[in-house]
């Protein structure tokens, strides 16, 4: 984004030079354009300040050693409050205010607002299905397992995924410990000759296709799944 604003600054300089050589009416048009560009410069400064505040919130709550649930809840509530305050310059969002109030209510130990409760969908019974983001991760891991099999690893070695996945990611995409059998179930559900047209199937097709890059090592796989874990909130314990 900074490169774009740098280009605007360059154009402003050219417009100022051009203004001195134009008739009055055209010069007034240039003046109006320069004022708009000045406002864009102010927006750039405001966005930079916002980005710095958000970065400080992320850094603070990941470094002070709070339990995951408390750290994620507090940082999310403060992030929403910061964004809401920033946007009020341009628009007062009632939806953001409601979300902010609901999150702060939780941080104070109050009951979860109705908007934060899972929806009871008519006709649904038994175990709640995975949300699309979790489906995507499971499909990606199944696709990676498929690639390993294509490279000669037997299906029974699905334990490689289970044994080397980040513990943080494992706890956030499953209520049970990840096992080799579970990975095989993901492979059956998301893979095959005709993967399903859902988030898991689409992720499987992307991660299962042959690529030039070598398969990740144990260390690389752990680090990759550790980064994936940052996409998901901690599960209730």
Asked which of 32-36, 72-76, 190-194, 226-230 is least confident by mean pLDDT, the reply is: 32-36
Please give the C-alpha separations between residue 59 and each of 75, 77, 209, in angstroms, as whole numbers.
10, 15, 36
pLDDT at 7: 64
Residue 102's nearest CA partner among 131, 81, 71, 128 is 81
Q: Please state the pTM of the whole predicted model.
A: 0.68
Give the contacts of 134 (CB within 8 A, at least 6 positions apart): 173, 232
Please count the CA atoms within 13 angstroms of the CA of 174 that sit on its side-chain side: 15
Q: pLDDT digit string (tens) for 6-51?
A: 666 676 677 677 666 666 666 677 677 777 777 777 778 888 899 9
> Alpha carbon 159 to chain centroid distance?
28
- CB neighbourhood size of 99 (10 A): 19
Could you list the beta-strand ranges (E) of the chain: none
Using alpha carbons only, how large is the chain's radius of gyration in Å? 25
């Amino acid at each position: 984004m900074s490169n774009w604003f740098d280009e605007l600054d360059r154009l402003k300089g050219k417009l100022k030079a051009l203004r001195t050589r134009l008739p009055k009416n055209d010069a007034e048009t240039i003046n109006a354009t320069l004022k708009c560009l000045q406002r864009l410069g102010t927006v750039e400064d405001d966005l930079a300040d916002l980005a710095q505040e958000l970065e400080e919130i992320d850094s603070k709550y990941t470094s002070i050693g709070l339990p995951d649930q408390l750290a994620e809840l507090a940082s999310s509530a403060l992030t929403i409050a910061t964004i809401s305050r920033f946007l009020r310059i341009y628009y007062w969002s009632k939806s953001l205010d409601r979300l902010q109030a609901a999150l702060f209510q939780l941080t104070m130990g109050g009951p979860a607002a109705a908007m934060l409760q899972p929806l009871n969908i008519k006709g649904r019974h038994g175990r709640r299905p995975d949300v699309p983001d979790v489906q995507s991760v499971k499909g990606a891991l199944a696709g990676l397992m498929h690639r390993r099999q294509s490279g000669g690893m037997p299906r029974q070695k699905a334990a490689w995924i289970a044994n080397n996945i980040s513990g943080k990611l494992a706890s956030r995409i499953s209520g049970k410990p990840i096992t080799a059998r579970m990975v095989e179930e993901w492979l059956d559900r998301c893979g095959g000759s005709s993967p399903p047209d859902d988030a898991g199937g689409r992720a499987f097709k992307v991660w299962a296709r042959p690529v030039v890059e070598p398969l990740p090592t144990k260390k690389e796989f752990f680090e990759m799944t550790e980064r994936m874990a940052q996409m998901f909130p901690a599960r209730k314990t």
